[in-house]
Amino acid sequence: MMFFHAGVGLGQNIDLAGKFGVFGDENYYGGDIEFGFSKTLSLSAGAHHFHDFALDGTANVTVPLARGTKLITGLDMDIVFGNETKIPLWIPLGIRVSVGNGWSLIMESEIELTDEAYHYFGVGMAYGF
């Protein structure tokens, strides 16, 4: 799946994001709002549609490593409203590396914690103004 993400800051430590994914006959679309409580902790909530409608909740922990490099982890949860309600849980594990001029390389995986979840891995570039 090819994902496109866009976000904008709404004030100090609040971000609004939209996501769109394309793959075959099924598309992903959704959005979330994220609240930063410190430089290392944020919480987000949102909704998306991919096969079924779902609500999202994520706790993100960012750990600075070397200059311009951060470890990203936390807990990710969906509530999926299909024929039956499912609650998949993941541990996100990723690295964000600043490559200069506002650009960052992001590598992230999601490790399944429940039977309803699934593993996945992604690599992408991000630009911050």
Contact partners, residue 70, CB within 8 Å, separation at least 6: 62, 63, 64, 95, 96
**Residues 35-76: tens digit of each pLDDT:** 999 999 999 999 999 999 999 999 999 999 999 999 999 999
Q: Which residue has the tokens 């075959």?
A: 24
Tens-place pLDDT, residues 105-117 = 999 999 999 999 9
User: Is the model's pTM score more than 0.85?
Assistant: yes
Q: What gap in Å lies between CA 90 and CA 70, rounded to an integer?
A: 19
- Domain locations in the chain? 36-127
Task: Report residue 25's pLDDT band, with 50, 70 and 90 as the boundaries.
Answer: confident
Helix, strand, coil shares of the chain, percent, nearest 5, are 0, 75, 25
